[in-house]
Structure 1
Amino acid sequence: MDERIVNGDVGGQVRGVVVLMKKNVLGVNNVAASVVDRVDEFLGRKVALQLIGTAAHPDSAAESCRGKLGKKAYLEDWITKITPMTAAATYNVTFEWSKEMGYPGAFTITNFHHSEFYLKTLTLEDVPGHGRVHFICNSWVYHAECYKKDRIFFANQTYLPSQTPPPLRGYREEELENLRGTGTGKLEEWDRVYDYDIYNDLGDPDKGPEHERPILGGSTEYPYPRRGRTGRPLASSDPRTESRIPAYNSLSIYVPRDERFSHLKMSDFVAYALKSLFQFLVPVLKDLFDKTPDEFDSFEDVLRLYDGATEVSNVTMLEKIRQHIPLETIRELLRSDGEKTYNFPLPHVIKEDKDAWRSDEEFGREMLAGINPVIIQCLQEFPPTSKLNPELYGRQSSKISEEHIIHNLEGLTVAEAIRNNKLYILDHHDSLMPYLRRINTTAAKTYATRTILFLKEDGTLRPIAIELSLPHPEGDHYGAVSRVCTPAEDGVEGTIWLMAKAYVAVDDSGYHQLISHWLNTHASIEPFIIATNRQLSVLHPIHKLLQPHFRDTMNINALARQALICAGGFVEMTVFPGKYSLEMSSMVYKDWVFPEQALPGDLIKRGVAIKDSSCPHGVRLLIEDYPFAVDGLEIWGAIKTWVQDYCNLYYKSDEMVQEDPELQAWWTEIREKGHGDKKDEPWWPTMQSCEELIESCTTIIWVASALHAALNFGQYPYGGYLPNRPATSRRFIPDIGTPAYEEMKLNPEKAYLKTITPQMQGVLGISLVEILSRHSSDEIYLGQRDSPEWTADTEARKAFERFGDRLRETEQKFIDLNNDKRWRNRSGPVKMPYTLLYPSSEIGLTGRGIPNSISI
């Protein structure tokens, strides 16, 4: 070490260590890039770094002062360094620096090599007067010609705009301008631009009218959150619609470069997709040897997807499979996860009992602890009413009468049951009825449903009536034609009751996938990601708070637009609304309210909880044994305490919130651009107080982490078994006297399976939810960070450690609750403990774990 540094002198050298990954390490043996890099290095084209000090340049005016720039330094040993194949490599760099240049608050980096690299960190040791200084970068750096401005990175300090050292302010503002872009032109792979656009990329009108879809966002007819702009050319046949990229190039859809999946995440994603595709092909090819290739003939037939009966032993079938998938790929699919290559993993819902899913208790329990536990409401009036416009849709009030349910109320009258908060409803009527006539002209045949449930003394919910409704055959304005089904166990009435529950599951599956899951987590959170990167500097405390909860979301959303929710995509192929799927979610977005995305607000809105200041989270549940709500409130409370502790470090008063220009610009842009179709709503927080900031950030983190986890990672555990969670239905309840009715009497299982999703479509749906329910090997969970030095603020790190400790204690509390036999809804007849809100998880298909972000 230079003596001048040891003695605190003003001049000397500062040694730094850079951690990065070369493209040839991250990619598939990019030999060409590696050779070109070596040529570049010999020609003197190096990686140059330049420190920026907090001492103002003497020639700068006070209002535009810029930090002093140190001399350029270069990475050492680029050619001779032997880089590992699975990890980043470290490189030394030596800077000239002195005390008079101040604190090295930022640095620029220029890449003169042919290929890009992933820059992880820069660490300076023994900076005169400051000691160790750490920079967290986590960014791709391309050739210098790709950028109009130098790439700049800031030390892991945290500053409000007004507290930023003046010599760094200009750099801070300039970097935000770079991230906003110009709003024009096609965005390229290396770009880092965050900008907004409407959903005008779902259809493909150049392929013909059947591929056209409504444009979502930017209109009162089809309001929607905004997505990230790509700048692709418009379609030739419709100048309002963005052209699509070819399916074979789907993985290259634009998102800001640092929002793309990591190499490890992409490898896992592709491997899981190939594995599921292979599992999809096996039963499809096996159909060649089946007498009824389009149908499952019995529940036992469905079970063969999982229990080994489809293990490929037939030489002819294996040869047919190898015609579709090369042998090398088959070998690659033999992963070390312990699962058979040819079979789907056994879904949790049938692991302990193959038939318990049919019970009424399990049907009701899954509304409290299943895939979609966010819809059930307390029934406030009887019979249930509709909010649909009567001039357009006529009389839509429920036909369920007191006679239908009185004998299942444990001696109470309907009025007494309502007064005692004993009646609940799963209502899929109003959201479906406007679309039902059009949906039922396709292969799908389903009903709008209302399900009434009774809260029993043992805490379980029992379904006591299901109303199946269709549009009036003579026109919508004549109202609904409805049929009411009531519980039965035996004979044809028992089969009809099982089918009625299946129609409810179909409606709930579609609503879950399109609204609860896609709209209310994936789509609604993307504008917050864009606004955060456009308006909050990486130096801003709220950027540091929220950034981990945005990881991978723009990438998975872009892939969804390209392959899942687009015209003819996998979602349209596997859920009952088909081509009306996203249009229907737009109609529901009309009722989206940001404060109601907070868990307490959501529970109160649905009437399943009431405000009660004496309770730990300010609300009292009306269903005490409501696993999602019980566990969710614990997680919500932990998140809010962490956010409050963190925000209080930086905002000592409401005036500091009001006078923060970046924060105010961020919140204005979320309202006016990101959720622009909602900008005039009175319910938006005004962001004028610390309380509003804390509540808003808690809500964002809750939606991006715990809510998404609760809605996503149970998809395969519950929905991987098709009879329990069908996504489509294709015929109505048969009429008396028809052959289908006779079949329903003689072979109820076959009649049930001929009503719900057909075999090929069902297996495709199972393949999809298996991919979406897996944790990748690079997942980062709630209470964790990818770097222990994510901030230099000691108090912030201590608060985060307390957050992690609380989450570990909370997980143990959930385990104890699951072991307590008093709480019947936590495991139910299927003996499947509620684990979806356990904070931690292992890799793979676990049915537990809360990732920091919407990463799948």
Structure 2
Amino acid sequence: MFNSGLTNLVPDILGGHKQGKIKGTVVLMTKKVLDFNNLNLNVGINLGLGVAGSVLDGLRQFLGGAVSLQLISAQNADPGNGLGKLGKAASLEGFVMTLPTLLEGQSAFSVQFDYTHDFGVPGAFVIRNNLLTEFYLVSLTLDDIPNHGSVHFVCNSWIYPANRYRSDRIFFANKAYVPSKTPPALAKYREQELITLRGDGFAELQEHDRVYDYATYNDLGWPDFNKNLARPTLGGSSEYPYPRRGRTSRPPSKSDPNTESRLLPAVQNFDIYVPRDERFGHLKLSDFLTYFLKSISQDLRPLLESAFNFLSNEFNSFDEVRELYEGGFQLPQDVLKNISQRMPIPMLKELFRTDGEQALRFPTPKVIKENKSGWMTDAEFARETLAGVNPGVIRALQEFPPKSTLDIRVYGDQTSKITKEQLEQNMGGVTVDEAIQCRRLFILDHHDAFMPYLRKINETSKKAYATRTILFLKEDGTLKPLAIELSLPHPDGDECGFISRVVLPADQGVEATIWLLAKAYVTVNDSGYHQLVSHWLQTHAVIEPFIIAANRQLSVLHPIHKLLYPHFRDTMNINALARQALINADGIIELSFLPGQYSIEMSSKVYKNWVFPDQALPNDLIKRGMAVEDSECPYGLRLVIEDYPFAVDGLEIWAAINTWVHDYVHCYYDSNEDVQQDSELQAWWTEIVEVGHGDLKDQPWWFKMQTRAELIEACTIIIWTSSALHAAVNFGQYPYGGYIVNRPTLSRRLLPEEGTPEYEELKKNPEKALLKTITPKLQTLVDLSVIEILSRHASDEVYLGTRDNPNWTSDVKPLEAFKKFGKKLEEIEKKLIERNNTETLRNRIGPVNMHYTLLYPTSEEGLTCRGIPNSISI
């Protein structure tokens, strides 16, 4: 191992300055290591520890001037141009074989820079790649700068051959500055880098580009292939408002100039443009996601569809559904052979398990691991509204009967037809008025979101209701459902309102089966709303404009950029993959979920009422009537349902994030005036409001970004949404929904009428009747294949309260505050574990014997149903 530090310090005869060498270490990863096709060969190999000679031969290409670096002074500028003084170019010299901090796939090289005392402290460096291919630059560390110590440059960026760039690639040291406090020698470099990242808004974007720009969601349809695959543009209109996505610069479709053309299925790896540094650049499970989505949509789905042309697409019993996990799903040998050929076995095992030649087999979902029938109970149905995968929709009922927000001129009177008498049958003597006064009545309302689409949905093979579910808070702190209203558009026209049937709980006879079916219709709606709104819209889609604006307007030197950067990792890439294979026309979501071709359009209607400040957990709970302000309670809130696991755990996490952001912001902003005078910060916020979320720019609720309090609240919301909220609605998808009967995604029959064959089947074989109504085999297999991989944690996931590089900043106070944040999260996790062992908190475990763990901060790799990653990274 080389010796670090300044060596050979001798007088410079010409300039009279002492000169010498500064030694440093460059860490990088080769393209080959990060290439998907080579991952199986490279996983587990640490390139710094005695690797094979062939690998070392590949690394030798970086030596001998192939990669050069030049330091830039942060203290002394060139008088001719005002730019920081540029040092002499230095090349990588040799391998560093024993660096203890190297991670999988990383390689370290030594480098020496000429140095004179009048150069000062380096604040940036330029790097030139003279190779023919790109590599991933992780970091540069300089040791023992005279009178300063070490300098760290955290890079995490792809470096392409120099001839691909219009200007040299530059990286800054890990110290943060608001714009007005930037060292003058670095100011112009800072400005130029932002100009590069913004692009010109017109040029065709190439793989190596790092340009961040905006576009509407006009890339989901495929009218060139089939006119039935046309979809409306989301964003840019009052009819279909939507957050903006990243621009790809693909040309318009031939048949519709307003629709962006799509990648052809033959394109390998879903090569969708995102700024190069937004692509997965680390060894993690989500690196496989591109491959899996492509394989599922282009290989597995067609094979299954062809198989089910000859096989029954119906489950006949709950036992047959459980065979997916216990014995395996039987498919014809030729289909299994095709699957194994198109999806190589090591990759296939990550998706689902096989027993070799007989069947596909999925992991057993947690919801049926301990109790196979607990999901059927009213207690579990109600508990999952508080502690399931979609716990942020239930609200307190504050008026009776429940009313609608749909336009009465278009949809008529949509006021609920549930009566007080129907509810009070099961309220133990408590009246509806008393229960509302005491906040003991709650509603899971999927009426307004679905009613406008029901007429269209029910013209297809899918059949559904708009639903309202009323629940009652019992003395023991648990909920029980009182009634479910199943509604359909009025047969005489939308303007005439609706017709409905109110179903009440029953545990015997055909009424019990009808009640079970009613709960299934509710869960189908909840599954669709969860996937399209709670998950996709309210985490993935709404965050992307913040990412784009941050990279366009906040320099990497900016303290807020450093604060938010880890919470943006992989999100643009994951969203691009979703647009290609999940939420696109005829994609996996349209195939597997009730709204079908209206799926993303429906989320646009919900976005009309999206309010950024209400994304703060305390505000959300108050708005839904699930909490009231109370200064004597923790966090200033009193929960209406004391044992509300998502809210109880969430408030702990929210408060920890808020404290961390408060401490961090106060390190850099001494007053509100500092916020107002921060030019980059103001440009960032203006662009978010007027462009990124421009369809809502005239709403009065936007922060004006004039105070530290507004900045703290905004950053807390962004971090909460990207980390904890996404974890709460994502990583339980397979543990709860992997058993399709618990969370069906489709309904295909309405309630049978008495006297029909379907009604007789309902009486004779309730299981078969239910299974004929909900998600069939093909859609189940596709859905499970996707949510199983989406519910997994990567091997190198970075969790809340941690960073992938301890040298992310050199500023002492933020480091101290971040350490405090990490310790607080450790304390919270211990507290959450204790809560889950408290028997009186019945909503934390329920009949299925499944603890609420989704907001535990940490996790191991895999399908764990816990852990809060920093970002929406899968």
Please say whether Structure 1 and Structure 2 have the same fold, judged by a TM-score greater than 0.5. Answer: yes
Letter in 1 for 2:149: G
CA shift for structure 1 position 820 = 0.4
**Equivalent residues, number:** 844
2:820 maps to 1:810? no
Partner of 2:321: 302
> Structure 1 residues 267-276 or 485-494, which shifts more?
267-276
Q: The residue matched to 1:408 in structure 2 has which SS? A: coil
1:386-420 Cα offsets, whole Å, 9 max, x none, are 11111111111111001111121121111111101
CA contact 2:71–2:88 (8 Å) conserved in 1: yes
> Structure 1 residues 443-452 or 7-16, which shifts more?
7-16
> Structure 1 residues 793-802 or 583-592, which shifts more?
793-802
> Structure 1 residues 583-592 or 431-440, which shifts more?
431-440
Partner of 1:56: 76
CA shift for structure 1 position 652 = 1.0
Q: The residue matched to 1:760 in structure 2 has which SS? A: helix
Partner of 1:13: 21
Equivalent of 2:270 in 251, 256, 261: 251
Q: The residue matched to 2:799 in structure 1 has which SS? A: coil
Partner of 2:252: 234
Letter in 1 for 2:466: A
2:90 maps to 1:73? yes
Partner of 1:555: 573
Distance (Å, rounded) in 2 between the aligned partners of 1:333 and 1:211: 30
Partner of 1:25: 33
1:129-168 Cα offsets, whole Å, 9 max, x none, are 2221111111000011111011000001111111110110
Distance (Å, rounded) in 2 between the aligned partners of 1:771 and 1:521: 18
CA shift for structure 1 position 39 = 11
Partner of 1:47: 67
CA shift for structure 1 position 519 = 0.4
CA contact 2:96–2:109 (8 Å) conserved in 1: no
Partner of 2:769: 751
Letter in 2 for 1:4: L
Distance (Å, rounded) in 2 between the aligned partners of 1:510 and 1:327: 30
Q: The residue matched to 1:807 in structure 2 has which SS? A: helix
Q: The residue matched to 2:614 in structure 1 has which SS? A: helix
Q: The residue matched to 2:382 in structure 1 has which SS? A: helix
Q: Quickly say closer, same or farther: Cα 1:81–1:300, change in 2 above 3 A.
A: closer
Letter in 2 for 1:626: Y
Distance (Å, rounded) in 1 between the aligned partners of 2:438 and 2:128: 69
CA shift for structure 1 position 59 = 2.6
Letter in 1 for 2:87: G
Q: Quickly say closer, same or farther: Cα 1:389–1:99, change in 2 above 3 A.
A: same
| Aligned pairs for 1:116-265 within 5 A | 116-249=134-267, 250-265=269-284
Distance (Å, rounded) in 2 between the aligned partners of 1:768 and 1:337: 10
Letter in 2 for 1:792: S
Partner of 2:646: 628
Partner of 1:4: 9
Partner of 2:345: 330
Distance (Å, rounded) in 2 between the aligned partners of 1:225 and 1:410: 47
CA contact 1:377–1:426 (8 Å) conserved in 2: yes
> Structure 1 residues 738-747 or 271-280, which shifts more?
271-280
Q: Quickly say closer, same or farther: Cα 1:434–1:581, change in 2 above 3 A.
A: same
Partner of 2:839: 821
Letter in 1 for 2:9: R
CA contact 1:264–1:778 (8 Å) conserved in 2: yes
CA shift for structure 1 position 185 = 2.0
Q: The residue matched to 1:206 in structure 2 has which SS? A: coil
Q: Quickly say closer, same or farther: Cα 1:35–1:837, change in 2 above 3 A.
A: closer
Q: Quickly say closer, same or farther: Cα 1:6–1:429, change in 2 above 3 A.
A: farther
CA contact 2:352–2:362 (8 Å) conserved in 1: no
Distance (Å, rounded) in 1 between the aligned partners of 2:719 and 2:62: 44
Q: Quickly say closer, same or farther: Cα 1:173–1:412, change in 2 above 3 A.
A: same
Distance (Å, rounded) in 2 between the aligned partners of 1:273 and 1:625: 38
Equivalent of 2:751 in 712, 729, 733: 733
CA shift for structure 1 position 667 = 0.5
Distance (Å, rounded) in 1 between the aligned partners of 2:797 and 2:62: 36
Partner of 1:653: 671
Structure 2 residues without counterparts, runs of 5 or longer: 1-5, 42-53
Q: Quickly say closer, same or farther: Cα 1:275–1:475, change in 2 above 3 A.
A: closer
CA shift for structure 1 position 36 = 12
Partner of 2:854: 836
CA shift for structure 1 position 340 = 6.2
Q: Quickly say closer, same or farther: Cα 1:427–1:818, change in 2 above 3 A.
A: same
CA shift for structure 1 position 294 = 1.3
CA contact 1:279–1:343 (8 Å) conserved in 2: no
Letter in 2 for 1:535: Q
Partner of 1:600: 618
Q: The residue matched to 2:326 in structure 1 has which SS? A: coil
1:753-795 Cα offsets, whole Å, 9 max, x none, are 1011111112211111111111111211111100111100122
Give the alignment's Cα RMSD to 1 decimal: 2.8
Letter in 2 for 1:514: L
1:339-361 Cα offsets, whole Å, 9 max, x none, are 96731111111011111101111
Partner of 1:518: 536
CA contact 1:339–1:345 (8 Å) conserved in 2: no
Q: Quickly say closer, same or farther: Cα 1:463–1:282, change in 2 above 3 A.
A: farther
Partner of 1:269: 289
Q: Quickly say closer, same or farther: Cα 1:203–1:336, change in 2 above 3 A.
A: closer
CA contact 1:201–1:244 (8 Å) conserved in 2: yes
Q: The residue matched to 1:698 in structure 2 has which SS? A: helix
Q: Quickly say closer, same or farther: Cα 1:288–1:667, change in 2 above 3 A.
A: closer
Q: The residue matched to 2:156 in structure 1 has which SS? A: strand
CA contact 2:214–2:246 (8 Å) conserved in 1: yes
Instruction: State percent identity of aligned pairs.
Output: 58
Q: Quickly say closer, same or farther: Cα 1:819–1:489, change in 2 above 3 A.
A: same
CA shift for structure 1 position 337 = 10
> Structure 1 residues 4-13 or 719-728, which shifts more?
4-13
Distance (Å, rounded) in 1 between the aligned partners of 2:526 and 2:460: 19
Distance (Å, rounded) in 2 between the aligned partners of 1:771 and 1:661: 42
Q: The residue matched to 2:443 in structure 1 has which SS? A: strand
Q: Quickly say closer, same or farther: Cα 1:825–1:11, change in 2 above 3 A.
A: same
Partner of 2:132: 114
Distance (Å, rounded) in 2 between the aligned partners of 1:456 and 1:619: 21
Distance (Å, rounded) in 2 between the aligned partners of 1:41 and 1:836: 44
CA contact 2:65–2:91 (8 Å) conserved in 1: no
Partner of 1:712: 730
CA contact 1:553–1:854 (8 Å) conserved in 2: yes
| Aligned pairs for 1:404-483 within 5 A | 404-483=422-501
CA contact 1:283–1:305 (8 Å) conserved in 2: no
1:577-621 Cα offsets, whole Å, 9 max, x none, are 000001111011000000000100100110010111222212110
Equivalent of 2:794 in 751, 767, 776: 776
CA contact 2:399–2:436 (8 Å) conserved in 1: yes
2:105 maps to 1:87? yes
CA shift for structure 1 position 246 = 1.3
CA shift for structure 1 position 801 = 1.1
> Structure 1 residues 121-130 or 211-220, which shifts more?
121-130
Q: Quickly say closer, same or farther: Cα 1:134–1:309, change in 2 above 3 A.
A: closer
Q: Quickly say closer, same or farther: Cα 1:155–1:34, change in 2 above 3 A.
A: same
Letter in 2 for 1:47: V
CA contact 2:11–2:18 (8 Å) conserved in 1: no
Q: Quickly say closer, same or farther: Cα 1:449–1:122, change in 2 above 3 A.
A: same
Partner of 2:506: 488
Letter in 2 for 1:479: G
CA contact 1:349–1:718 (8 Å) conserved in 2: yes
Partner of 2:395: 377
Distance (Å, rounded) in 2 between the aligned partners of 1:219 and 1:807: 42
Partner of 2:386: 368
Partner of 1:346: 364
Q: The residue matched to 2:266 in structure 1 has which SS? A: helix
Distance (Å, rounded) in 2 between the aligned partners of 1:208 and 1:257: 32
